[in-house]
Each structure stands twice: as C-alpha cells, then as structure tokens.
Amino acid sequence: MREVYGVLLPLAGDATENYAGVIGVALEWALGRYMQPPLPTTPDGRWAEVDGVEIAWETLRADDIGPRVWTMTFRHPHGLDPDLCWISEIKVGDEGTKSWVSVRVALMATSHRVRPIEFIFQPPQLVSRIAEVFEIIVDGRRLTPRAGSCWSAEIPELCRLLSDPTRILPMLVISVDRDRRTALNPHATATRLIGLSHVTVLGDYSSAFALTNALGRDRSVFNGGVRLYYPGFAAEADPFRHPLWLPSTIAVQTNFVDLLVRRLAPMGAFRTPSPSVEGDIRSALLTRRHLELQQVAQKAEKDDADWQWLESELDRTLEENRRLQTEVRLLQQSFADVARTQQTEIFAVENAPITQPTSVLEAIQRAREQAQYLVFHERAVDSAGSCSYGQPDRIFDALMLLDQVAGQYHRREPLPQGIDGACKEHGLVYAPAVSEISRGKYKQDYQITYEGQRVYLGPHLKLGKGDPETCSRIYFYRDEENRAFVIGYVGHHLRDGTTS
C-alpha cells in the first residue's frame, strides 16, 4: 500500500464541540458523495458495499470521560486501473484540551500485476470544507481555502515565519509582475494545497523588493515568480533546497498546481505521524480486557493448570502488543531521521506519474466522478463526445473549479460579487447569460429537459476562441430550488449572433 496524501489539522476552540461538529460535516460529505439517505442516528456503525464503495466508521474510547478517536474509512475502485483501489481515512480526535482532524489517502493493489502506476489525485474536498467551517491554526496562521496577502510593511513578519525553526508547513510565496498579475490563481492554488502548504501573495512590486532586501536576491521571489519555502529555511540556506519557478516555466506546464500537489501530498503522507492518543487508547482497552479476563479466571472453577496457561497467554499477548507499539514508534523515528538527513523530497513528481484527459469526453467523465456539487445532464456527456477542443485538461480544471463555486452556492454562502465574482476569483471566464436573440433564434440549442421540464441553458464558461480546436464552452442551468448547477452542454460554441 502506498500513501499518497496526508494532513493533520489542529482545531482551535472547544474540543467537544469541534469533535461533534467535524463528525457531522464528514458524514454529510460522505452522504453527498457516496451514499443516499437516511444517515445513521449514531456515528458508530458500518455500511455494506454500495456501488463498489465500502464505508465504515467507529469510535475508539477507553472510558466515558477519556480521549476518543472517531474514524471513517472508505475503500473504492481506482476507476482507471482494475488492479488498484483507493483507501481514504478520516480521523477526528478529542483529547479534552485539544482536538484535531487527520485525513490520509492511500493506493492499494488488489491483484498481483507488475506494471506502471498511473493515477490522477485530487485532495479530498472534505479538507477544504472543514477549513471553511472550523478554525484551524498552524504556525500561528489560520488555514483557509484562500491565499493570504503580504505587503511591504508585513515582510519582516513573513521573514520571521519563514526562518522559524518550529514551522510545520511549507510556504508558497506568489509574486506579482509590474502589472500586478500572477502566474497562478492564488485562491484556487490555496484551495488545492490546504493543509499541505501556506499560500501568500506579495501585494505589489515593492513588497518583492522588500523581501529581496531582507533575504537576498538568491533566496527571494519577484517579477511574477513562485517560490516554495520548506520548513528549515534560514538566511544562509541553500537556495536550491527551496525551489523557484519563473513565470515562463509555469506557463509551459500543464496544470502546474497539480505538480505542486504531487510534490507535497506524498511528503505530507510520509511526514504526518499517526496521533499517539489512538495507540494509548488501544493499550488501555487491552489492559482493561486483560484485567477482566483475569477476574473471570479467578472466579471460574476450572483446572488450575488450564487457567495458568490462559493467564500466561494473556500476559504474552499484552507484552507482544507493547513490543509492536515500540517497534512502530522506532520505525517512524528512523524514517524521519533518514529523510531529514538526506533532505530528500520523498516521492517527487517524477515518481508520481499522472495522465491528463486525452479527450473532452474523458475530461467530463472524470469531473462527473469527482465533482461534489455539479449535476451532469446526459446531453453534456453526448456533446463532449463530439467535441474536438484541443485542451481537454482545461475542461476538467474548469469543471472542478466551477464545482467549488457550486458548493458555495449550494451552502448559501455569501457571494458579495455574485456568481460572476466567485468565478473570477477562481480564474474562470464567466458569462451570466446568452442574448435573448440567440435564445429565440436557436431555441433548441439552449434547451434541455430537466426533472420533466424544458429549461434554458444560459450561464456559461468560456475557454479560448476561434475554431473548434481552440474554442470551447461549458453551458449550465442554475436550479434555484435545489441550489445546484446543472451542466447541460460541454463542447463547441453554441450558435449565436456570431456563429451559425
């Protein structure tokens, strides 16, 4: 089994309230993504396999007042490789004075077949959802699905954080060019990297000058560049240990943020230990069970020799459990020491191959599997099958970003600038409607049958312009009753006053 993602999120505030609240959010997320109502009335139980997905959850606690850990585990098919399956694990811990959430994702072989591994990985949207609802503080900063900003007056504080020897997460610093443009969409990047890295944007060109004056040119970032500062950075640090990407490098990369995720997610999995409280609870439960069996043995009227053997076996089992726990702790420490000594980037991008969708149809099929809030009409799939747009990866990215906006809309979150503004924040080119002339002249193009009624597609995303190989559109219907975006057409530009 290969772990590909891991984050540990400490929760600020009341531990009991956080524990119950996060479990509720996790169950709601599971229901929306995998299951159908009704939800169980208790957070302990197990569901049988549903559409190829196995889901189980349990609470681990030694007594009624002590620490507790709730775990929910998913096992579902890979989707692209029949010899693999995904295992996702969410843990919520309440230790009385503190609470936390741990999310890990692993890839496991289901059959023995030695061949290259190809997979597409998206960090679970549950992590962003938890960060939206609960206060998560790491390195003195609140983690949210939005990038922070840093202006000239705040550069000294940024430098102190970068050089802090206790810093836990990397810091991705995005600079602006002279026109205040960035090579990456800051907020979309922060959403993808939440729990894996802080993300901050230098507010203007003078902020980059201030950072350069503080750190030196070799260790700074400016003119639209992007730099990843790992924990352990110092004024005399080797600049090549903290990678810098220029705008020209980012521009020629397909899905550059995917590369960042593939670089950081396995590091998070490797360097995020399992909270020790779970092992402590299991030891306490085992000890209690041992004592219970001893009490039963003392009361039973059995042959003394038989019970002496039973007690020796119980003692041996308890000692074996302690020995295994010690070995696990030593192995974890050993791995961490080796990685720290070598300062290697575990499972770098070269070792985590990823395939982009090769067609618009494949792009929409993947988005249909992964999106949480979008509804896909069959016409969207049909139209994608005949689309010759040459950048299907952009279709997939646009749909996944639109899914985040759809989530905000579904949850009735404030959208001060409306859907238009929310789309712009995610780097999407959005048009709220088509002209009445186009709807009247090409009525059939813009209608779909949805829940037994004929409705019009109006809002749409624009990708490129020109001929069908360089221009595509994503049209959708806004279902106000169910608070959903219904994707009705993905493909070439529909007919309007400029097309025929």
Say yes or no: 97 and 216 in one domain. no
Res 397 pLDDT > 80:
yes
Q: Which of 9-13, 318-322, 466-470, 485-489 has the least mean pLDDT?
A: 318-322
∠ CA 346-352-357 to the nearest 5 degrees? 155
Res 120 pLDDT > 90:
no
> What pTM value is reported for the model?
0.61
Between 216 and 121, name the one with better pLDDT. 216
Res 487 pLDDT > 80:
yes
Residue 50: CB partners within 8 Å, gap ≥ 6?
A: 34, 35, 36
Say yes or no: 222 and 323 in one domain. no
Residue 306's domain comprises: 276-342
The CA distance from 124 to 104, in Å, is 9
Q: How confident is the model at residue 35 (pLDDT cuts 50, 70, 90)?
A: low
pLDDT digits (tens, 9 = 90+) for 159-205: 999 999 999 999 999 999 888 889 999 999 999 999 999 999 998 88
pLDDT digits (tens, 9 = 90+) for 428-457: 889 999 888 888 888 889 999 998 899 999
Residue 355 within any structural domain of the chain: no
Say yes or no: 388 and 468 in one domain. yes
Q: How confident is the model at residue 302 (pLDDT cuts 50, 70, 90)?
A: low
Based on the structure, what is the number of domains in the chain? 4
Say yes or no: 265 and 288 in one domain. no
Between 158 and 44, name the one with better pLDDT. 158
The CA distance from 349 to 346, in Å, is 9
CA atoms within 13 A on the CB side of 15: 15
Residue 149 within any structural domain of the chain: yes
- In this prediction, residue 412 carries a pLDDT of 85
The CA distance from 170 to 168, in Å, is 7
Q: Which of 154-168, 383-397, 485-499 has the least mean pLDDT?
A: 485-499
CB 15 within 8 A of CB 95: yes
Last residue of a domain, one of 250, 269, 288: 269
Last residue of a domain, one of 84, 117, 137: 137
Last residue of a domain, one of 91, 111, 137: 137
Q: What is the mean pLDDT of residues 336-342?
A: 40
Say yes or no: 172 and 293 in one domain. no
